[in-house]
Structure 1
Amino acid sequence: MARLVSRRLVGLLRKESLQILRDPSSIAIAFVLPVVLLLLFGYGVSLDSKHVPVGIVVEQSSSEAGSFLGAFQQSVYFEPRFYATRQAGREALRRHQVKGFLVLPADFAQRLKADRNAPIQVIVNGVDANSARLLEGYVQGVWTSWLERELQARQIQVARPVEPETRIWFNAELASRNYLVPGLLVVNMTLVGALLTALVFAREWERGTLEALMVTPVTLGEILIGKLLPYFVLGMGGMVLSVLMALFLFGVPMRGSFWVLAVCSTLFLLAALGMGLLISIVTRNQFVAGMIAIVATFLPAFLLSGFLFDIGSMPVVVQVITHIVAARYFVTILQSLFLAGDIWSLVLPNAVALLLMAAFFLGLSRLLLRKRLE
């Protein structure tokens, strides 16, 4: 009996594996698309603003103004562009030639020598609020650093009630790539786990091959294992490829344990497979199943997982909704493992949440699956 069961299961696994190999789209989604996304986000997408085009208007030249402009030219964050008048700077801003411009007034050097306030005017394009805030902070940083050097050169001591000492933990380079790439692993596994699996039963219904499968002696458990195991192997293969690219191509640090990463990846992939399988059982149309999978799994993994947007900055209602998104828990685990290490106070609760979600979706899929043709 056991031999018969194993032969049936091996036959189902072979059938599903051959179907995957004969379908180029499955291989592309599992291996090609993750590579494209990693290259795109690793090299093309960055939340770090560098070489920002900034206009500079100097109404009257002076050594002090030249020293201040030198600080901008030496900074990697700015690409200075000089204009003769404020009107020229405004026009460049309107045409999106610069992200903002600053004006050194004609009395800048005189007011600075008189130990009075020497204000500068900074005008920033606020259409992109995030870039505007970054630019404002960068300008403030350059101004503060230059002013400190000027005061030291003039041997002027300024009493400071507070002396800040900044230490950056976990991502000392402040490189957005170091947390974008681990978060992108969640999106890649969601593509394989949920999107491909959502088409499994829907494709069988459309092709009429599920009826032939239902009249065979195979059990529901064997059908589920035969359908899910090949996609599980496919998903873990894509995960290994993505991790290797993150470590050796993009130089993302890995401070946690690989076995913890493997266990948590297994839990998340099982949850994604369960969601995709549930969608596939409920719907019998590949187009509908694909659309539901994108809306219910792929988009939340992008928008509500903390991969791109901080969950704490979202409205309270949206924060509550994120608790039913499996990607939220896996993103937290990945960012901890890659950048901080095995922080068990973070890893364990999120791993338990993934385990519960995997059990729920797989159990519900098994409950709804019936060996009937209606």
Structure 2
Amino acid sequence: MEAGASAQAPPERGAPPRHLWLRQLCALIVKEFEEIVRDPSSYLVAGVLPLSFLLLFGYGITLDAGILKLAVLDESGGSRALSLAADFAHSPWFATVHVASMGDAAQKMRDSEVQGVLVIRGDFDQELAAGRTGALQVIVDGAEPNTAQYIRNYSQGLIGDWQMTALPDGQAQAAPVTLEARYWYNPTAKSERFLVPGAITVIMTLIGTLLTSLVFAREWERGTMEALIATPVTRLQLLLGKLVPYFCMGMFSMGLCAAAAVTLFEVPFRGSLGALLLLSTVFMLSALGQGLLISVCLRGQLVAAEAGLFSGFLPALMLSGFVFDINSMPEVLQMLTRLLPARYFNTCLRTIFLTGDVWSIFAPSLLFMGLLAALLLGLVYKNLTKRLDTRA
């Protein structure tokens, strides 16, 4: 054969008997499992990587305010000013430090020693004693808008409660309408219960695309793909032989993450295991289909791995609603998120953990993820030709 020509295997013959077809498929699956067992990186990707990422996301990322550091500048020194400062000092949200002047407060804020300053004016007690409004000022660090909002809201709540107890009835009239807030599905308002299911979505997207983006690329680089092409196995057998082992690994990682979410992070699980299994299966097929398509189209492991990270991990992290609210994104990005299976899986996971089985949410998500999985795996089958093409 001349150099630069294409060597093409003979066309696939008719399908072998069913029992022989199944034996060939099982042999391919066993071969792939043996390679997985011999490869130490498989243990890292399937076991160590999910737990490491879950611990990092679960403990390292939080939307809770925590203890806010507040400087208190009491220019009054009166009994009511001291009472108000004491309420701030004993609140569960603030750690207060007294300063002698506004210059000291400004210096502490510049040095990030405090995140806000409560200023009680010098005539605070006198104004209240005369039946007038006492002047207070809360200065917050606007460099961190979320923290600033927490300080503002907590301060308003504390000052309102203090007025009801410390001031005479004539000065602190009860409001005609009171608002009592309740948190459904997350009564403790812990951000871990919101973030951990989203973190599982990101982890499973990374594992699904990263594991399979290297499958065929590794065979091409090792030179073993030619041997597989020379065998009488069909394209469907070759596809299933690669898909089934990595699907099992992905589902094992999913079970590991779900168990860690319930035991380590105490995220309630209010849905059913059957629904979780169904959702995870459909999503994993779409993620594996994406990775296999990358592996079929790109024959280098490094390029395939980069493509898997870029097309799977980053969109799942940024556009799935894991941390950033989709409704606050520009309309163009909101439309783009509708094409990502991670968005639907993230919504389903949060629902099944915190709310329960809500099939009005699950059904359209399953339909989209199922259609996407069928499309991706169909493209993989189409591009998985048993042919050797020489390239420059």
TM-score, scaled to structure 2 = 0.92
Q: 2:232 aligns with which of 182, 206, 217?
A: 217
- Return the alpha-carbon distance in structure 1 between the equivalents of residues 87 and 366 of structure 2: 48
- Return the alpha-carbon distance in structure 2 between the equivalents of residues 252 and 77 of structure 1: 23
CA offsets per residue over residues 322-353 of structure 1, 9 Å max, x none? 01111000000011111111122211111211
Whether 1:332 aligns to 2:332 is no
Alignment of 1:211-360 (within 5 A): 211-360=226-375
- Return the alpha-carbon distance in structure 2 between the equivalents of residues 281 and 114 of structure 1: 81
Q: 1:193 aligns with which of 208, 227, 251?
A: 208
- Return the alpha-carbon distance in structure 1 between the equivalents of residues 191 and 172 of structure 2: 37
Q: Match for residue 13 of structure 1?
A: 29
- Return the alpha-carbon distance in structure 1 between the equivalents of residues 130 and 305 of structure 2: 70
- Return the alpha-carbon distance in structure 2 between the equivalents of residues 346 and 40 of structure 1: 29
Alignment of 1:15-164 (within 5 A): 15-151=31-167, 154=169, 158=173, 160-164=175-179
Q: Which amino acid aligns with 2:66?
A: K
- Return the alpha-carbon distance in structure 1 between the equivalents of residues 342 and 161 of structure 2: 41
- Return the alpha-carbon distance in structure 1 between the equivalents of residues 159 and 173 of structure 2: 16
Q: Secondary structure at the match of 1:308?
A: coil
- Return the alpha-carbon distance in structure 1 between the equivalents of residues 280 and 383 of structure 2: 26
Q: Answer yes or no: is the 8 Å Cα contact 2:163–2:172 preserved in 1.
A: no
Which of 1 and 2 has greater Rg? 2
Q: Match for residue 6 of structure 2?
A: none
Q: List runs of 5+ in structure 2 lacking aligned partners.
A: 1-16
Q: Which deviates more from structure 2 when the two are superposed, residues 141-150 or residues 258-267? A: 141-150
CA offsets per residue over residues 115-166 of structure 1, 9 Å max, x none? 3222311111111222222222222222222222224x65656253422122
From the two aligned structures, give the one with the greater helix fraction.
1
- Return the alpha-carbon distance in structure 1 between the equivalents of residues 180 and 153 of structure 2: 18
Q: Answer yes or no: is the 8 Å Cα contact 1:13–1:226 preserved in 2.
A: yes
Q: Answer yes or no: is the 8 Å Cα contact 1:55–1:102 preserved in 2.
A: yes
Shift of 1:280: 0.8
Matched residues, percent identical? 46
- Return the alpha-carbon distance in structure 1 between the equivalents of residues 178 and 88 of structure 2: 24
Shift of 1:232: 0.6
Q: Secondary structure at the match of 1:183?
A: helix
Runs of 4+ in 1 over 6 A off after TM superposition: none
Q: Secondary structure at the match of 2:118?
A: strand
TM-score, scaled to structure 1 = 0.96
- Return the alpha-carbon distance in structure 2 between the equivalents of residues 52 and 311 of structure 1: 28
Q: Answer yes or no: is the 8 Å Cα contact 2:108–2:114 preserved in 1.
A: yes
Q: Which amino acid aligns with 1:240?
A: G
Shift of 1:220: 0.6
Q: Indicate the RMSD between aligned Cα atoms, in angstroms.
A: 1.5
Higher relative contact order (CA 8 A, sep 6+): 2
Q: Secondary structure at the match of 1:272?
A: helix
Q: Answer yes or no: is the 8 Å Cα contact 1:192–1:231 preserved in 2.
A: no
Q: Answer yes or no: is the 8 Å Cα contact 1:192–1:234 preserved in 2.
A: no
- Return the alpha-carbon distance in structure 2 between the equivalents of residues 362 and 146 of structure 1: 63
Q: Which amino acid aligns with 1:89?
A: A
CA offsets per residue over residues 193-244 of structure 1, 9 Å max, x none? 1111111111111111111111100111111111011111101111111111
- Return the alpha-carbon distance in structure 2 between the equivalents of residues 100 and 7 of structure 1: 70
